Chains A and B, each alone.
Chain A
Amino acid sequence: MWTAVITIAALALLAGLSLTYASRRLPPSTGDLVEQVNDLLPQTQCAQCGYPGCRPYAAAVVDGAAAINLCPPGGQDTVQRLSRLLGRPVLPLAEQVEPAVAIIDESSCIGCFHCRNACPVDAIVGAHQLLHSVIESECTGCELCVAPCPVDCISMRPLQ
């Protein structure tokens, strides 16, 4: 009988030790984690974090290359959620932005198409040489269309 008890105890101990080791040492699957981080980001694709979009930033955060407080549109709430998910300390937001939408001054627009090419979410409609306009409900307020405009006719209108 003692052989059986000792065998089972030894097996249990072995399993326990190896599981502890695995959970401490082996990194969690980063692919899933990147998706989870990406889900918490506001998907404005504004590149204000210094990365070309939300997913690249998420990958950098998981890598440890980027801090968790670089997403201005997400605000402090996103920092908090990221800190909860990743177990990193909460940092104050690096830069504040007010939520806004782009608005095109239609009297000055020359139909150059540059802003449409810059918009990451295709929220600008219009054709070459014709007036462009912003689909307000789809605009994420990323400001990426402001700089390319050669006649400076795009401005950001704060949302209440």
Chain B
Amino acid sequence: MSAPTFDLGKLHGGLRLPAHKSHSAAEPVLEVPIPSQLYLPITQHVGEPAQPVIEIGERVLRGQLLAEPDGEMGAPVHASSSGTVVAIEQWPVSGRYGDTAPCIVIDCDGRDEGIAATSGIDFRSLDPADVLLKILDGGIVGLGGAVFPTAQKLMQARTCETEYLILNGVECEPYISCDDSLMRECAAEILGGAQILMHALRIDICFVAVESDKPEALQSLADALEKLDDERIVLKQVPTIYPSGGEDQLVQLVANRQVPSGGLPTDVGCLVQNVGTAAAVHNWIINNEPLISRITTVTGDGVNNPMNVRARIGTTVGDVVQFTGGYADRAEHLFIGGPLTGKSVSTDRVPLVKATNCVLAVFKSSFAGRELPCIRCGDCAAVCPVQLQPQQLFWFTCADDETKLREFGLLDCIECGCCDLVCPSHIPLTADFRTAKGRIRELADEKARAERARQRFEARNQRLEKEQHDRDAELARQKESARQAGPADIAEILRRKKQQSEDD
């Protein structure tokens, strides 16, 4: 067993939060049965919505392509089980793009027939570029929560000099333990995925980062690594501090490099991928199974049996919770995602999507508390992992001062929610910052549009001026030649005129 190493960078701020993970992570992962209907949103990724390629009424098989990416940024959507497509309609979702989104609805026949299985490929014999293209077809997106299309992220990384692949198994947010379960049960797949990613990007060093409060996961990964006998992969144990699993924070911790403001980890030679993404890549390349299911944590004091389950993408959250044993009587709030970065939803009819790492039902929202004025205590600045000054940013969001907000680095905020938690005045800082960020982006768009319109306007004015100038010059030339015309020219013109009228 390769010994976990401790030569780590330091993280500014952060919080040690009660984990609430033991209930859900203790039991083995159960498989949720295939529901009668699946709802597959066409947007489960960052980028343009995928375009459906099936007809309503068509019979589809498990793993069949339903919608393909449109434009440069996107990921395909596959059928999670066999059945008939009955509709493509608006359905409640828990996304950043509004409360409802177009979903492909499949009436499952329960037979779960897959498309004709082709044998997996030996990725080592393929050119790295071909591996990337293959990954693009698997509908794989970043399963840590950001759902950035994996293939595009890898292609971007290929244009940079990437030294380290970092697999993120930190999962620092309270309550969530789906990656923990995945690492315990599917360590071999994760490491296999790491090998594929290293091959595709020609990287020779891979760190697998796991939080120190997951000894079972570490052990399981260490065993799998021993069996695999790949010296390029190194396990790293990182301290249990929220949000050490943030991409930039993890780079700081594992590689001791600071991602520049507004930059990406690839700027400092690192590529971060979630362990779930690595496993999904392995399943697609080796077993030819696209991303049609995932492990999710059903937890909180609002459910009877907190546990981790593997469910098909498109199963409604209600079905998943029913399978685990239903809601407790006192459940009041439902979150998709964790308590800090998750989104509150008003209905459990929303489907489980590629991004859904947690379904959290709670008795009382932990942020209940009346908002009071800011007393400028500075606690928020002390915990901010990005070393921002939330109290100043809050001030500027109130004043809607875009210049100052940019100057104080609002765009670097990772929306981890630490400042909310420590604020003695219960100010929803993260929500304010999120709104302000949206507003800044909107303003920048507006500005760009205005600039383009101005350029076009000026170009047109220049053109009109030139046309006018040419016309004037032509007129002057004609006038000049008329002025210089002698009696002989006039006689010639008159003769021509006469000739013409005679011809007519």
Does chain B have a CB within 8 A of A133?
Answer: no
Cα distance A143–B446 in the bound complex, in angstroms: 19
Encode contact with B along A79-122: 1 for CB under 8 Å, 0 otherwise.
00000000000000000000000000000000000000000111
- Whether A121 pairs with B450 at a CB distance below 8 angstroms is no
Say which one of A25-33, A39-47, A61-69, A150-158 lies at the interface with B.
Answer: A39-47
- Whether B460 pairs with A121 at a CB distance below 8 angstroms is yes
- Whether A43 pairs with B454 at a CB distance below 8 angstroms is yes
Does chain B have a CB within 8 A of A60?
Answer: no
In the complex, which of the residues A41, A53, A54, A121 contacts B456, with contact meaning CB atoms closer than 8 Å? A121
Does chain A have a CB within 8 A of B367?
Answer: no
- Whether A138 pairs with B456 at a CB distance below 8 angstroms is yes
Does chain B have a CB within 8 A of A140?
Answer: yes
- Whether A43 pairs with B451 at a CB distance below 8 angstroms is yes
Could you tell me the distance in whole angstroms from the C-beta of A117 to the nearest C-beta in chain B?
9
Number of interface residues of B (CB under 8 A): 11
B459: nearest residue on chain A (CB-CB)? A122
Does chain B have a CB within 8 A of A123?
Answer: yes
Residues of A contacting B451 in the complex (Cβ-Cβ under 8 angstroms): 43
Which of A43, A54, A123 has most chain B Cβ within 10 Å?
A43
- Whether B459 pairs with A43 at a CB distance below 8 angstroms is no
Residues of A contacting B450 in the complex (Cβ-Cβ under 8 angstroms): 41-43
Cα distance A41–B457 in the bound complex, in angstroms: 14
With A121-B453, A138-B452 already in contact, 5 other A-B pairs whose C-beta atoms are closer than 8 Å: A42-B446, A43-B449, A43-B451, A122-B456, A138-B453
Residues of B contacting A122 in the complex (Cβ-Cβ under 8 angstroms): 456, 459-460
Which of B450, B451, B460 has most chain A Cβ within 10 Å?
B450
- Whether A123 pairs with B457 at a CB distance below 8 angstroms is no
Encode contact with A along B354-392: 1 for CB under 8 Å, 0 otherwise.
000000000000000000000000000000000000000
User: Can you list 22 A-B pairs, Cβ within 8 angstroms, ordered by A?
Assistant: A41-B450, A42-B450, A42-B453, A43-B450, A43-B451, A43-B453, A43-B454, A45-B453, A53-B457, A54-B457, A120-B457, A121-B453, A121-B456, A121-B457, A121-B460, A122-B456, A122-B459, A122-B460, A138-B452, A138-B453, A138-B456, A140-B453
Residues of A contacting B449 in the complex (Cβ-Cβ under 8 angstroms): 42-43, 140
- Whether B446 pairs with A120 at a CB distance below 8 angstroms is no
B446: nearest residue on chain A (CB-CB)? A42
A45: nearest residue on chain B (CB-CB)? B457
Task: Give the interface size bracket for A toward B.
Answer: 10 to 19
Residues of A contacting B460 in the complex (Cβ-Cβ under 8 angstroms): 120-122
Residues of A contacting B456 in the complex (Cβ-Cβ under 8 angstroms): 121-123, 138
Could you tell me the distance in whole angstroms from the C-beta of B182 to the nearest C-beta in chain A?
40
Which of B446, B453, B456 has most chain A Cβ within 10 Å?
B453
Cα distance A138–B460 in the bound complex, in angstroms: 13
Cα distance A121–B452 in the bound complex, in angstroms: 9
Could you tell me the distance in whole angstroms from the C-beta of A86 to the nearest C-beta in chain B?
17
- Whether A44 pairs with B453 at a CB distance below 8 angstroms is yes
Cα distance A67–B449 in the bound complex, in angstroms: 24
- Whether B446 pairs with A43 at a CB distance below 8 angstroms is no
Cα distance A44–B457 in the bound complex, in angstroms: 9
Cα distance A54–B455 in the bound complex, in angstroms: 12
Tell me the A residues contacting B by CB distance below 8 Å.
41-45, 53-54, 120-123, 138, 140
Which of B451, B452, B459 has most chain A Cβ within 10 Å?
B452
Instruction: Give the 9 A-B CB pairs with smallest separation, nearest first.
Output: A121-B456, A43-B450, A43-B453, A43-B454, A122-B460, A45-B457, A42-B450, A140-B453, A121-B453
B463: nearest residue on chain A (CB-CB)? A122
Encode contact with A along B446-483: 1 for CB under 8 Å, 0 otherwise.
10011111101101100000000000000000000000
Could you tell me the distance in whole angstroms from the C-beta of B286 to the nearest C-beta in chain A?
43
Could you tell me the distance in whole angstroms from the C-beta of A40 to the nearest C-beta in chain B?
9
Encode contact with A along B428-446: 1 for CB under 8 Å, 0 otherwise.
0000000000000000001
Cα distance A65–B446 in the bound complex, in angstroms: 27
Cα distance A137–B460 in the bound complex, in angstroms: 17
Cα distance A44–B449 in the bound complex, in angstroms: 9
Cα distance A140–B452 in the bound complex, in angstroms: 10
Could you tell me the distance in whole angstroms from the C-beta of B304 to the nearest C-beta in chain A?
43
Residues of A contacting B454 in the complex (Cβ-Cβ under 8 angstroms): 43, 54
Cα distance A92–B142 in the bound complex, in angstroms: 47
Could you tell me the distance in whole angstroms from the C-beta of A145 to the nearest C-beta in chain B?
13
Could you tell me the distance in whole angstroms from the C-beta of B445 to the nearest C-beta in chain A?
12
Residues of B contacting A41 in the complex (Cβ-Cβ under 8 angstroms): 450
Cα distance A121–B456 in the bound complex, in angstroms: 5
Cα distance A74–B456 in the bound complex, in angstroms: 18
Residues of B contacting A53 in the complex (Cβ-Cβ under 8 angstroms): 457
Cα distance A145–B29 in the bound complex, in angstroms: 64
Cα distance A69–B450 in the bound complex, in angstroms: 18
Residues of A contacting B459 in the complex (Cβ-Cβ under 8 angstroms): 122
Cα distance A120–B459 in the bound complex, in angstroms: 10
Encode contact with A along B14-33: 1 for CB under 8 Å, 0 otherwise.
00000000000000000000
Cα distance A101–B85 in the bound complex, in angstroms: 36
Cα distance A93–B453 in the bound complex, in angstroms: 22
Cα distance A106–B357 in the bound complex, in angstroms: 49
Could you tell me the distance in whole angstroms from the C-beta of B24 to the nearest C-beta in chain A?
41
Residues of B contacting A123 in the complex (Cβ-Cβ under 8 angstroms): 456
Cα distance A120–B460 in the bound complex, in angstroms: 7
Residues of B contacting A54 in the complex (Cβ-Cβ under 8 angstroms): 454, 457
Among residues 390 to 437 in chain B, which have CB atoms less than 8 Å away from a CB atom of chain A? none
Residues of A contacting B446 in the complex (Cβ-Cβ under 8 angstroms): 42
